Structure 1
Amino acid sequence: MDVMHTMPITPVLIGPLLACVWLSVRHTAFVCGGALALALAIGAWSGALGSFAFDVEYAGLLLACAVIPYAAHHRTALEAAGARAREVARSTQHLILRPLSRDLAGTHVCTRYHCAAPESDVGGDLYDVAVTPYGLRVLVGDVRGHGLEALRLTAATIAAFRELAYTAPDLPALVTDLDKRLAPELDAEDFVTAVLAEFGPGEVRLVNCGHPAPLRAGQQVELLEPFAPVPPLGLRPDPRQYRVRLQPGDRLLLYTDGLTEARAADGTLFPLLAEATRALREPLPDDALDSLYARVVAHTGARPTDDLALVLCQPAEVPVALMSTNRL
């Protein structure tokens, strides 16, 4: 009986194939060389060296080991290109979401954008501000999905807001215009959750399109839930505006679901109201946002796995006559 039928060398190819998937080109070449040497050793030990069956299998192994390093090179090149693309996307995202900490039309606006782990995909969190003839307008939103497509929709949403915020007479009209402008950019399953705020003397006007409710911090901390749910942009929202009175020293926190969905190792959600109450006691807005993010990290026990956008707005003091009620 031919010994090679009981001692084949083809399984030796498993090592180079695994190396091609996991290792660098250089290490893959080393593994291929080792596999060829091992096959020769098996042939010599089994007495099959020089037989026709051995020569056929060894020729196949030799051909495979000549091609496999090229496959490893192609894989590593694709991985490097993907890493560069993600880095460019991250840089673009940071450029779009420019940091702010300044007074705008009588309101101090402070922003933070925290990426998830560097190796994670690009998220769709977004924010922007515009000083318009109708007052300071703020947008915070979240595009469904991740990756370059989400980044494209993020850029499209911000560009539309920057163009339309100055001409729409009120927030419902602005939401309607945004929805129409984004419709050609969105696929059937795409949408953008968003909350828009417009600051006036002693109050803020809000429209919430399927987004986490803003938080007002003053004598107490409370979520400013809309009176009726409104679908996200892209799902034909019927915008409903609601108004909230602001007393001297009140702050308005707008954020993305990276805050509300942050979980501890045991699955416990981040206690937003309790931790925000503590963090927003910091006198300076920048310190308040830094404290809030530190509390998120302490709760999760590690860097959060989802991107997080935070926008803290603190209007200047308003006349006493405008403080008769807390909420309209």
Structure 2
Amino acid sequence: MGASASASAMDTGSGVHVFTLVALLLIGPLLACAWLSVRQTALVSCAALALAVAASLGHGVPPGADTALRLGGLLLGCALTVYAAHRRTSLESALDSAREVARITQRVIMRPISRDLSGTHVCTRYVSAAPESTLGGDLYDVAMTPFGLRILVGDVRGHDLEALRLTAATLTAFREVAYTAPDLPAVVTGLDKRLAPELGPEDFVTALLAEFAPGEVRLVNCGHPAPVRSGRRAELLEPAVPSPPLGLHPDPPQYRVRLQPGDRLLLHTDGLTEARAPDGTPFPLLPEVTRALREPLPDDALHRLHTSVLAHTTGGAPYDDLTLVLCQATEVTSPVPVS
């Protein structure tokens, strides 16, 4: 009687250990469905089921309702992990597709320009921090208006799809107001009004607007890095009065800068001003801009400047997206008196 009870206890103990092992075997498929492909998850699940059956037979657990229930639970759990892996990979594929469409859309929005526009040659360069990175918020656009050539360079706060949405909204608003607003402060007012419904409580858009006239450029700056005028020397064209970005109700004054024959105007985003070397050394903006803009052709000048930024930041963390817009008068005209 005692021997029989002891044997029964041993069988019960073996069964408990096997059931515990069966439960633990589900951990493998669970981890697999979070990281691996559907096929790999299925292989891990099959291996877990095979180990569970082998463990039951090896320990002499008699077939019964409990054994069938535990093995059936493991089978169901494995099937669910395979389904979960399928759902995860499908969602990741859909998200990757959406991101790729967004990247293509951004490249269309940020179309490269190199042409003469109303007596001013304009060329652009946009470089993402990394091709595989999330979408950035840099933007630029040009408009040939009744008031002259107008250019917008801006930077939307944030990255990814939301930044792309706000970029598109900003460019749409610019194309709506640039042709009708009588001056650049009015353009800013129109932009801020149209963007207000699109911006969240913490969203904003830094913006620099330029309007070209014979012998001068008119500027308004809404929290954006100052442009650089390169002639006999390079200098930052800082506004006399700082203004907040779009979305924060800016009211910037317009300031006018004379452009001598041969002068170039570089508009850019903070990917240039905030570039850092691996040891934290900032990019020497004015000396490098001076050297780069000595190139006879504007497109070559932008290429040299971009190469200088890459050389300075090599080995460091990826810097921000970089947008460069270079403008140079192609016609010699009489200067307008500057007030």
Query: Is the structural similarity TM-score above 0.5?
Result: yes
- Is residue 2:164 matched to residue 1:164? no
Give the SS at the match of 2:94: helix
Structure 1 residues not aligned, in runs of 5+: none
Q: How does 1:185-204 map to 2 (within 5 A)?
A: 185-204=198-217
Distance 2:221 2:148 in 1: 18
Q: Superposition pairs for residues 83-94 of structure 1, below 5 Å?
A: 83-94=96-107
**In structure 2, which of residues 312, 316, 320 is the aligned counterpart of residue 306 of structure 1?**
320
User: Is the 1:297–1:304 contact (alpha carbons within 8 Å) kept by the matching residues of 2?
Assistant: no
Determine what percentage of the aligned residue pairs are the same residue.
Answer: 68
Tell me if 1:12 matches 2:25: yes
Paired residue for 1:251?
Answer: 264
> Which letter maps to 1:3?
S
Are the counterparts in 1 of residues 218 and 257 from structure 2 also a CA contact under 8 Å? Answer: yes
Contact 1:289 1:312 in 2 (8 A): yes
The match for 1:42 is 55
Q: Bigger CA drift: 98-107 or 273-282?
A: 273-282
Number of residue equivalences = 325
User: Is 1:182 the equivalent of 2:195?
Assistant: yes
1:85-136 deviation line (CA, Å, top 9, x unaligned) = 0111111111112211000011000011122323322222110011122211
- Give, in whole Å, the separation in 2 of the partners of 1:263 and 1:64: 51
Q: Does 1:3 align with 2:25?
A: no
Alpha-carbon offset, residue 18 of structure 1: 1.3
Shift of 1:199: 1.0
Q: Is the 8 A contact 1:40 1:49 kept in 2?
A: no
Partner Cα distance (1:48, 1:266) in 2: 65
Q: Which moved more, 1:123-132 or 1:273-282?
A: 273-282
Q: Deviations over 1:222-272 (max 9, x none)?
A: 211111110111110012111111122111111112222233333333332
Deviation for aligned residue 1:6: 4.1
Q: Which residue of 1 aligns with 2:329?
A: 315
Indicate the SS of the match to 2:100: helix
Q: Which one of the candidate residues 165, 178, 186 is aligned to 1:173?
A: 186
Distance in 2, matches of 1:97 and 1:113, equals 7
Where 1:248 maps in the other structure, the secondary structure is: coil
Preserved CA contact (<8 Å) 1:116 1:307 = yes
CA RMSD in angstroms, aligned pairs only:
2.2
Q: Say whether residues 1:261 and 2:274 are aligned partners.
A: yes
Letter in 1 for 2:323: A
Q: Which amino acid counterpart does residue 14 of structure 2 have in structure 1?
A: V
Report the TM-score, using the length of structure 1 for normalisation: 0.92
Q: CA deviation at 1:148?
A: 2.1
Counterpart of 2:4 in structure 1 is none
Equivalent residue number for residue 271 of structure 1: 284
Tell me: CA distance 1:48–1:278, structure 2 relative to 1, closer, same or farther (3 Å): farther
Q: Pick closer, same or farther for the CA change 1:297–1:42 going to 2, 3 Å.
A: farther
Match for residue 29 of structure 1 among 25, 39, 42:
42
Aligned-residue offset at 1:53: 5.0
Contact (CA 8 Å) 2:313, 2:319: kept in 1 or not? no
Match in the other structure for 1:117: 130
* Counterpart check, 1:131 vs 2:125: no
- The unaligned stretches of length 5 or more in structure 2 are 1-8
Counterpart mapping for 1:227-238 below 5 A: 227-238=240-251
